[in-house]
Amino acid sequence: MTATHRGRFAPSPTGRLHLGNAWAAALGWLWARSQAGEFLLRVEDLDTARSRTGLTEALLADQAWLGLEFDAPPVFQSRRLDLYRAAFERLRATGRVYPCFCTRSEIARAVSAPHGPADEGPRYPGTCLALSSEQVEERARTRPPAWRFRPREGLTDVHDLLHGRIVQDVAREVGDFVVLRNDGVPSYQLAVVVDDAEMGITHVLRGDDLLRSTARQIQLCEALGLPVPVYAHVPLLLGPDGKRLAKRAGTPGLAELRERGIAPERLVGLLAAWAGLGDGRPVDLQALVPRFVLERLPREPIAVDPSRVNEALFGPG
């Protein structure tokens, strides 16, 4: 029987894994295992492939230390450019994409408020939509274009198992967004929908900072005729500065724990406490599987106190 739940962890290897990565990975894994499902790893290395090869091995070692097993060899985005290109060509055939020659500063100058979601910069004013084919040809001589997707008008419904129904007017709030950058690399939005569909991912659990991207991804799924996965966006761990927990906050990365011989059960105990699955005492990840209930996860950001984390991880057991 093939599993009816297949989840994934999709880190961008921009640095060593930290507690926030362990949180998302462990929750995704627990959800999949509690549903007798499968769990896959995708390394989102489109930007980092050349310079960061060693990071991937470290990432795999960190995962194994935590006790996560995956049901297939890892998938590397940097090795799948042909797949994204083919999806882009399918989008192009729908007439929903157009070349854009604008630089960031041109867009910033052309735009007055309101601003779009931070990850896309200001809402694109549509400058290049009006170019004639002669103009496109002429500009392409000096600068390769990025390609933008024209979202359909109206509200896009996002159904999230933790946040309920959320609607976004992508055309108004985000505008035409980039699917292929001018260096030929697909944007995160395109790569993620192509990969999730190709890997047969049915359930996506990830940080709720990506909730604002989900409507764009659903629109791309619709345009490409791909299935839309079930979504659950989990709260982020926040450091004392109220920002997403980072190394600066004074909490250790997984590599440090591993190298110092700390038992992974200590970290899992902490993660379990944040997820409402335990009292903070060390626990084996496997032991949490029968206790995991997605709907009981917190919805609000989790404020992490670094001194308590360090005490729990390094203090007398």
Shortest Å, Cβ 111 to ligand GLU: 26
Which neighbouring-strand residues pair with 204?
231
Cβ distance to ligand GLU smaller for residue 210 or 246:
210
Q: How far apart are CA 103 and CA 12, in angstroms?
A: 25
Shortest Å, Cβ 138 to ligand GLU: 37
Other CB atoms within a 10 A radius of the CB of residue 275 amount to 23
Cβ distance to ligand GLU smaller for residue 11 or 239:
11
Cβ distance to ligand GLU smaller for residue 24 or 128:
24
Cβ distance to ligand GLU smaller for residue 191 or 271:
191
> Phi then psi for 299, rounded to 5 degrees?
-105, -20
Radius of gyration for the alpha carbons in the chain, expressed in angstroms and rounded: 21
Shortest Å, Cβ 244 to ligand GLU: 10
- 243 catalytic? Reply is no
C-beta of residue 298 within 8 angstroms of C-beta of residue 276: yes
Residue 18: C-alpha distances to residues 249, 256, 291 (Å): 11, 10, 24
Shortest Å, Cβ 12 to ligand GLU: 4
**Residue of 209, 247, 289, 294 marked catalytic:** 247
Cβ distance to ligand GLU smaller for residue 106 or 209:
209
Shortest Å, Cβ 192 to ligand GLU: 5
Residues that bind ligand GLU (CB under 6 A): 10-12, 44, 192, 206, 210
Active-site residues, by number, are: 247
